[in-house]
Structure 1
């Protein structure tokens, strides 16, 4: 035993009144031998060891306290304290998972709790044969007061983790009412009824003086449909109004159709069919009924669009044979998903075929027959139908169409860097991309993606996550029965989604949500883990791998557009993309899309054109000629990965150290 430990032991025993015979050193019995003897004794007698007499207990407690004052630390394992001495003043715990080092000198000390009045003493078990040791960090032992006596039972309980605080609290004040944004159904204006019903494709009867290709760009949005018709020969484009509303609202048709006794219609008669697009985007969710509802709805849209165009410009096209082309927006970044491409091409062809039916309303039985044939054949064979064989059907990624429409709406400067970033926030998805624009032969615009990502982070999915969180929180707090409405009814259908509250705190009046930290707020987690992660960690990281000069990012134009971009929740992206503390070159400049000179869209302001930009791009984009695929494909959705810190700059999550 080292001199320092021997001196401390001797001094403690003297203070405690325990005499040590002269000429003998206090030695601890070998642990294995003592343990073996104790086990045999207990096994033979079946009785627990007797506690020490009160005087011996008092001496033992006093002895332990004096030992601590002398700087000898102790760690409790199974009510046994194992001390190790490695030099003067250095006390460490022993690693019990491995055999002790030969240089270590151990002292086994038994502690007994204080015997309080009218309480039975808790007697610890004797040490067993197996001696466990634990490696602990070297630290200075705590110095208890002289009057304190350590209770081994209490020390064991402090090893357990304290209960975690609830991340939020809910306070109820007065009556609870839902936000009117969630319960009120927006009223749209009266549907326009053009002179031509749109069932006929042509105006000419006998003599034809010219032939034209006219393209219908149909942006089949999750919340609403937008249509632009372009005549390439005349160089003009026309946005199609659907109602007598003022401004932009006239050009937005909610994505819903009504099924009544007479068949499908756009009038509010019968049972509404909603969420038409979302079911088409998921293969296993797209059954025959979903496909039929979407085809019937788009057929009615085609009728209205053709009817308005032929009625409005009858004098210009009465002696012109029109070769129609229908380009439908594809909810994907690329053409990689062959099944999705095939499905949307069949949808476009089925809608065109149904639109030519004689009846004003569209019978459900006929729609079923057409869609059944579309399912039985591939698109190439289905489009050979004589009734639609003269029409060209194509699909184009919505993001690509929007980019091309953007390029044709601005004055192109060949000498500029012409690298851009665009984030389109829709009801269902968010499309984000970084791309280069160039001019090819004949000054044809071309663009190439550095990266492009499409994920389900739109307004409808933000709203769905909030409703899910509220249902769980109200259930946990047992206040769900106090909510005046069923939360499922607040999970608004996408066609009614004209706006949602800016924050989850604003969903109910009379309920206040208090979050202890941002990590407990579902809005914060959706923004950080889904939206911001998509735009910064995926889109920009993919572009960073392909852009050779970091200076190209400095001052890059940023276009935040789409219906969801009106929300402050999504406008946070502009602030987060202004600068980065770890990269001086990280600087994006927010800009607005401009209305193209060739587009006729009365009543729409400049800052509203972005809602029509996809439809416009679809009507002017020459698919396959101007569109270049990304050099490396990106999946439509990837699981979220927890951010880690950069080893160079210590940035959390996204780093731009290069």
Structure 2
């Protein structure tokens, strides 16, 4: 090598390692939420039952809808009852300041019983975390389904008991038709394998919620567990609903004065995933009709943002980070993890490029292949940002850039509150975090009809649309 080339090689800065593409479990060296644990009050015990007191015959049943947003970091729930939607408060399980979100974790006590949260008398190994991570992968093991089902069973029991506590005067001695809706990623229904995993999860969780106590460990190969995974409980009035989360998030928007028919984009920044979807909505023949044009879900959520910041850090640095309660602002995170602020900012720059690349790819695919004739390309594409990380600058800037490079005009919108949710039930500015759960707490029939992306062919050269089975153009396109 010539001397000049050696000098250039010596001073050329080393390229930063790429952003990770698979999860590495970040498990802090110590439990950080044991002080928030709440010993279940007496009223929580009632959640084992399907009704509050002995049912009286001759009275019409009351429909109760449970909506659960099962998240990587936090889980949220809401109850639909009496033509109103009530976000669930977790004061009977957790003493954190934010009472509308529950950390997605549970403890296994010495006798084998499971309880929500980090029990003060258990070790780090007895607290199960990262329950949602396996569901972000193409295949989900039965063991992962069992662990997540234990958590959801505890959530379902709590929601029933909370409903009795809040509305006992109305529900006592009544027959209740329980219905359960669980949120899925925007591409969840496109993949039969993923759909089956979620159905097994929710079936098993409901069965477990009716037991005398929820066991912390399940043998995934026992005949009873396998039977519960594959058979819907008769105690549910209908088959559990698996609803794409974006439908639940925009449920308030579609019945608001802000609504405009046509093409939209939603970017959901969750703990584990970044869910980007373009969809259209129109109103025809008395119902809303949705079409999914381009759904993409990648492991670029907040946990991956933190994991990316730790690339190159030693094990001791990583063990100081709790992906649920850690500081997200770059400089504060650097102090917490004993890293240089410039290092964290450099990693954030690489991460932002990946976020922008994903958003740009989804919007470009929609514009060039899927829905070429949308008026949104000239008038401006309406974009929603939601999720726990939706307000972070590390996402908002790349999202705005990714959309703007393709659509040129971007109309960023806040998610309006569903009109069945009273404004006093949540703090100002927090609705976007519970919008999925609130939207899920209703009859799935209210969402209208949905055409999946796999059932819509790419636009041909002239912009006509072909659908399997073929639908009329007006069923998908706004006039």
2:293–2:370: 8 Å Cα contact kept in structure 1?
Answer: yes
Which of 383, 388, 393 aligns to 1:568? It is 393
The 5 A counterparts of 1:636-647 are: none
1:229 to 74, 79, 85: 79
The equivalent residue for 2:149 is 295
Partner of 1:252: 101
Q: Identify unmatched segments of 5+ residues in structure 1.
A: 1-153, 170-180, 472-484, 635-658
2:219 aligned residue:
368
Instruction: Give deviations 1:350-381, integer Å, cap 9, x for gaps.
Output: 1111111124xx2346x437x733664595x5
Q: Which residue of 2 aligns with 1:501?
A: 329
Superposed, 1:150-229 pairs within 5 Å as 162-165=8-11, 167=13, 185=32, 188=36, 190=38, 193=41, 195=43, 197=45, 198-203=47-52, 204-229=54-79
Tell me if 1:345 matches 2:215. Answer: no
3-state SS, counterpart of residue 571 of structure 1? helix
Say whether the 8 Å CA contact 1:218–1:328 is kept in structure 2: yes
Match of 1:433 among 273, 277, 295: 277
Match of 1:462 among 305, 311, 314: 305
2:132 matches 1:277 = yes
CA deviations over 1:480-528 (Å, ceiling 9, x no partner): xxxxx71341353x4x34542336983468754657xx9x932222211
- For 1:306 and 1:218, how far apart are their aligned partners in 2? 12
Partner of 1:35: none
Q: Which among 166, 188, 197 is matched to residue 312 of structure 1?
A: 166
Distance 1:404 1:446, change over 3 A: farther
Q: Which residue of 1 aligns with 2:453?
A: 630
Report the CA distance shift for 1:539/1:621 in structure 2 as closer, same or farther (over 3 A).
farther
Higher Rg: 1
Decide which of 598, 606, 611 is 2:420's aligned counterpart. 598
* Cα gap change, 1:375 to 1:561, in 2 (>3 Å): same
**Aligned residue number for residue 546 of structure 1:** 370
**Displacement, 1:571?**
2.0
Q: Deviations over 1:420-471 (max 9, x none)?
A: 22111011001112221111333x2222123221111101011112212334
Alignment correspondent of 2:265: 421
Pair 1:318–1:427, CA change in 2 (3 A): same
Q: Is the 8 A contact 1:215 1:229 kept in 2?
A: yes
Q: What is the distance in 2 between the residues matched to 1:527 and 1:345?
A: 34
Q: Choose between structure 1 and 2 for higher RCO, CA contacts under 8 A separated by at least 6 residues.
A: 2
* Alignment deviations for residues 167-212 of structure 1 (CA, whole Å, 9 cap, x no partner): 379xxxxxxxxxxx99993664747736252111113522341123
Partner-residue secondary structure (3-state), 1:468? coil
Query: Which 10-residue stretch deviates more, 198-207 or 399-408?
Result: 399-408
Q: Given the two structures, how large is their TM-score scaled by the length of structure 1?
A: 0.59
Cα distance, 1:531 vs structure 2: 0.7
Q: Deviations over 1:297-354 (max 9, x none)?
A: 1111111100111221122223532111111122352412222211211111111111
What are the Cα deviations for residues 600-654 of structure 1, in whole angstroms up to 9, with x where unaligned?
Answer: 46452342101111112222262685222125689xxxxxxxxxxxxxxxxxxxx
Q: Are the structure 2 counterparts of residues 183 and 523 from structure 1 closer, same or farther at C-alpha, using a change threshold of 3 Å?
A: farther
8 A contact 1:335–1:397 mirrored in 2? yes
Specify the alignment match of 2:87 in structure 1: 239
Q: 1:195 to 1:255 in 2, by over 3 A?
A: same
Whether the aligned pair in 2 keeps the contact of 1:400 and 1:627 (CA below 8 Å) is: no
Please tell me whether the aligned partners of residues 555 and 588 of structure 1 are also in contact (alpha carbons under 8 angstroms): yes
1:537 CA displacement? 2.0
**Kept after mapping to 2: 8 A contact 1:426/1:563:** yes
Q: CA–CA distance in 2 between the matches of 1:200 and 1:303?
A: 8
**Match status 1:524 vs 2:349:** yes
> Aligned residue for 1:382?
231
Unaligned runs of 5+ in 2: 16-27, 458-479
Give yes or no for contact 2:74–2:101 (8 Å, CA) kept in 1: yes
Residue by residue, what CA displacement relative to the aligned partner does 1:144-184 show, whole Å, maximum 9, x if unpaired? xxxxxxxxxx9x65577831535379xxxxxxxxxxx9999
Q: Which whole-Å CA distance do the structure 2 matches of 1:298 and 1:257 have between them?
A: 10
Residue in 1 aligned with 2:181?
Answer: 327
Partner residue of 1:489?
319
Change (3 A) 1:317 1:514: closer
Find the counterpart in structure 2 of residue 107 from structure 1: none
Residues in 2 aligned to 1:300 and 1:590: alpha-carbon distance in whole angstroms:
37
